[in-house]
């Protein structure tokens, strides 16, 4: 307890934020050992995903001290004279953390360009390359709960950092002394709309969206920062204005209409789907709060709507981009937990295909000629013959391209995205995917579950024999090592089990491949796939014992 108190008092002495100082003083005065242990018994570790955690006092929380230390570490790794662009979303304290970062970086002798407004993450990623900066910082916690915030670092290539940069920046952070002794600057550039948003809009509206524009769209930014930019992008591309979910359109860091601000979470899309039914929409589009992800909903024959999975959208976009680009030696890429469908599409079209580790920091580094990359968690980077305008997932560029695809299908025979999915199923087999996730409070439970799978590997899942097991921690197929296991099952099925990189979850990714060109066609294949996936889930749950 005495050591915790000492560290807390040292933290208190350097903290510039009256709110977190008051929080920590109250904890000390009350002698709340559990609260001190929670805040000072561990720290947020800086990695390739940067920092992400709950707001509050102490090294195990996101706060001004944590952020200033991160900025000082980045400055130490870059060195004086380098140029850093900083963006931020509308979460609690995002603007404060951005200004603190600007002050620390500028005080360390770096040139700083600070976004003049809370703009989406893809705008920041675009700005790094557009301005020729050496690095970028985005203050956001993406789709995490309201009390979280985060700190993402991009390098000069416009992509998020990968090893060993994370280790080098982390070491520089650890070498940083008290933040109240850091020199602070105030001579940074404030980026205007004309300086960065307009060039971004020009880049994404140049994507291959075709010339069909007759489409009724419902859109929600889910209380995030994507609304204004997406509406401007659709207008610039010639689409009619989307019908907006008014209750979710203005940025609000408390996300009052959703339990969890992630389009994939149950209930998050209810308001958008209700408006779609009322408006008779052809397409429903949602961004997550920092607008780097894109969710898609479509009308169903029974008069309702359903959300497409990330893999369904990933396959549709992949084939569309391949068909609408002509550059030689094109490459498409996906993460190892995404559907194997993209590989079959690429092979059929004579286009190169690559698998990478999870995360766009790896996808965008898949190789030269990359025109498209995706991961199943609603992340897509859509390009053209000129390459990718954003070297990260971009929910706005993806939304434009999906709308163009849907408008063309509607014009050409009154088809929908569901019809396009059925056509792919007949051509390549139905690739049905699902997930199983276990959220924990004690991360040791995840470690133990992974240990059980290694010591007692399942011989079959869902009645399908396990043909091979890839231990991803050893590095597979030339990929860097990462914690996870991949099972290849009889009949082309696959299961990947891995801890989440941003949340206290163990995530399992399931896929079955069912022929859809035979008796019963696509409906029979979908029915069988649903049953097969449920049986695999049951067997996997037993094997994990969570």
Catalytic residues: 142
DSSP state of 336: T
Query: Which segments of 154-258 does DSSP mark as H helices, in order?
Result: 165-174, 198-204, 227-237
163: how many CB neighbours lie within 10 A of its CB?
11
Contact (Cβ atoms closer than 8 angstroms) between residue 112 and residue 84: yes
Q: Exposed (0-12), middle (13-18) or buried (19+): which is 349, by Cβ within 10 Å? A: middle
- Give Cα 533 to chain centroid, integer Å: 25
User: What is the enclosing helix (H) or strand (E) of 88?
Assistant: strand 83-88
- Residue among 317, 291, 298 at smallest CA distance from 232: 291
Contact (Cβ atoms closer than 8 angstroms) between residue 11 and residue 39: no
Cis peptide before 15 (omega within 30 of 0): no
The CA distance from 223 to 6, in Å, is 40
User: What is the enclosing helix (H) or strand (E) of 69?
Assistant: helix 64-78
Residue 225's alpha-carbon distances to 117, 229, 491, 513, in angstroms, are 10, 8, 43, 38
94: how many CB neighbours lie within 10 A of its CB?
24
User: What is the enclosing helix (H) or strand (E) of 409?
Assistant: helix 395-411
The CA distance from 341 to 250, in Å, is 37
């Amino acid at each position: 307890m005495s050591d915790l108190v000492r560290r807390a008092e040292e933290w208190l002495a350097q903290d510039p934020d009256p709110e977190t100082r008051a929080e920590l003083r109250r904890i000390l005065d009350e002698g709340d050992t559990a609260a001190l242990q929670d805040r000072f018994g561990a720290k947020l570790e800086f990695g390739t995903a940067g920092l992400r955690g709950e707001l509050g006092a102490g090294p195990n929380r996101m706060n001004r001290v944590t952020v200033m230390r991160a900025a000082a570490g980045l400055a130490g790794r870059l060195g004086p004279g380098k140029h850093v662009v900083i963006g931020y979303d509308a979460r609690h304290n995002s603007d404060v953390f951005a200004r603190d970062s600007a002050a620390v970086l500028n005080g360390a002798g770096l040139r700083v360009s600070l976004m003049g407004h809370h703009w989406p993450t893809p705008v920041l990623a675009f700005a790094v390359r557009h301005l020729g900066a050496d690095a970028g910082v985005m203050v956001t916690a993406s789709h995490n709960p309201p009390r979280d915030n985060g700190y993402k670092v991009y390098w000069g290539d416009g992509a998020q950092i990968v090893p060993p940069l994370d280790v080098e920046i982390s070491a520089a952070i650890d070498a940083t002394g008290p933040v109240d002794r850091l020199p602070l600057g105030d001579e940074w550039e404030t980026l205007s709309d004309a300086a960065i948003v307009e060039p971004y809009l020009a880049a994404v509206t140049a994507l291959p969206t075709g010339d069909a524009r007759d489409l009724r769209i419902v859109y929600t930014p889910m209380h995030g920062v994507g609304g204004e930019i997406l509406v401007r992008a659709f207008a610039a591309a010639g689409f009619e204005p989307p019908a907006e979910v008014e209750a979710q359109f203005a940025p609000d860091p408390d996300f009052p209409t959703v339990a969890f601000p992630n389009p994939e979470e149950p209930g998050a899309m209810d308001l958008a789907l209700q408006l779609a039914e009322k408006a008779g929409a052809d397409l429903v589009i949602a961004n997550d709060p920092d607008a780097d992800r894109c969710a898609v909903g479509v009308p169903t024959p029974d008069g309702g709507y359903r959300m497409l999975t990330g893999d369904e959208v990933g396959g549709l976009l992949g084939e569309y981009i391949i068909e609408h680009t002509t550059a030689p030696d094109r490459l498409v890429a996906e993460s190892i937990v995404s559907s194997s469908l993209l590989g079959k599409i690429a092979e059929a079209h004579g286009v190169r295909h690559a698998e990478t580790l999870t995360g766009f920091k790896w996808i965008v580094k898949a190789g030269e000629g990359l025109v498209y990359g995706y991961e199943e968690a609603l992340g897509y980077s859509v390009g053209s013959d000129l390459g990718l305008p954003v070297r990260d997932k971009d929910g706005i560029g993806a939304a434009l391209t999906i709308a163009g695809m849907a408008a063309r299908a509607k014009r050409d025979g009154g088809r929908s995205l569901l019809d396009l999915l059925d056509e792919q199923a007949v051509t390549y087999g139905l690739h049905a995917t699902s997930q199983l996730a276990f959220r924990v409070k004690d991360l040791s439970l995840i470690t133990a579950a992974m240990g059980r799978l290694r010591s007692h590997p399942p011989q079959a899942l869902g009645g399908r024999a396990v043909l091979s097991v890839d231990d991803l921690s050893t590095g597979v197929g030339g990929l860097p090592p990462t914690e996870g296991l991949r099972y290849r099952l009889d009949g082309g099925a696959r299961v990947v089990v891995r801890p989440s990189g941003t949340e206290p979850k163990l995530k399992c990714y399931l896929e079955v491949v069912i022929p859809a060109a035979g008796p019963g066609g696509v409906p029979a294949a979908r029915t069988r796939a649903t049953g097969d996936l449920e049986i695999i889930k049951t067997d996997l749950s037993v094997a994990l014992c969570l």
